[in-house]
């Protein structure tokens, strides 16, 4: 199938497919006329690339994992990379949860009058913005 048909079947733009190709994540064949052609398995590969992106992986990480996918078995290096990515996402989730908790405290403690400028240029935040 041609690139436009692959884009239509996958819901991914032609531009994105060309990017995947440029990064070596999607490998088309070339017709005698030089046009990109993709096997039916290209649909599944694009879906998988999209799943990796949705899971928070970078294109560099995806590039590192795809050889294992193509080989049909995960290498220890690919598994190590996936675990490292999961750990990175877990850390980000904890950091976001902490930021949300801090924001909840600020929201809870903030009163209508506490948003006014501190008197006499005092830069100390009002008590309503401090954790209790």
Phi, psi of 76 (to 5 degrees): -55, -35
> Rounded to whole angstroms, how far apart are CA atoms 106 and 60?
38
- The per-residue pLDDT for 112 is 47
For residue 79, what is the enclosing H or E element? Answer: helix 76-109
- The per-residue pLDDT for 90 is 95
Per DSSP, which regions of 10-70 are E strands? 29-30, 36-37
Phi, psi of 125 (to 5 degrees): -65, 145
**In the Cβ-directed half-sphere of 57, how many Cα atoms lie within 13 Å?**
22
Q: Write out the chain's pLDDT in tens, 132 residues.
A: 999 999 999 999 999 999 999 999 999 988 888 888 999 999 999 999 999 999 989 999 999 999 998 888 988 999 999 999 999 999 999 999 999 999 998 888 886 455 555 555 566 665 555 555
């Amino acid at each position: 199938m041609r690139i436009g048909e692959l884009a239509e079947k996958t819901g991914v733009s032609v531009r994105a497919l060309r990017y995947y190709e440029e990064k070596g994540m999607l490998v088309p064949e070339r017709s005698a006329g030089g046009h990109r052609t993709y096997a039916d398995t290209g649909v599944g590969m694009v879906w998988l690339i999209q799943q990796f992106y949705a899971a928070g992986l970078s294109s560099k990480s995806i590039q590192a994992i795809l050889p294992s996918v193509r080989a049909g078995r995960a290498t220890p290096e690919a598994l190590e990379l996936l675990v490292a990515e999961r750990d990175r996402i877990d850390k980000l989730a904890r950091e976001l949860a902490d930021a949300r908790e801090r924001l909840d405290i600020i929201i809870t403690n903030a009163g209508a009058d506490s948003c006014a400028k501190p008197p006499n240029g005092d830069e100390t935040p009002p008590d309503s913005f401090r954790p209790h």
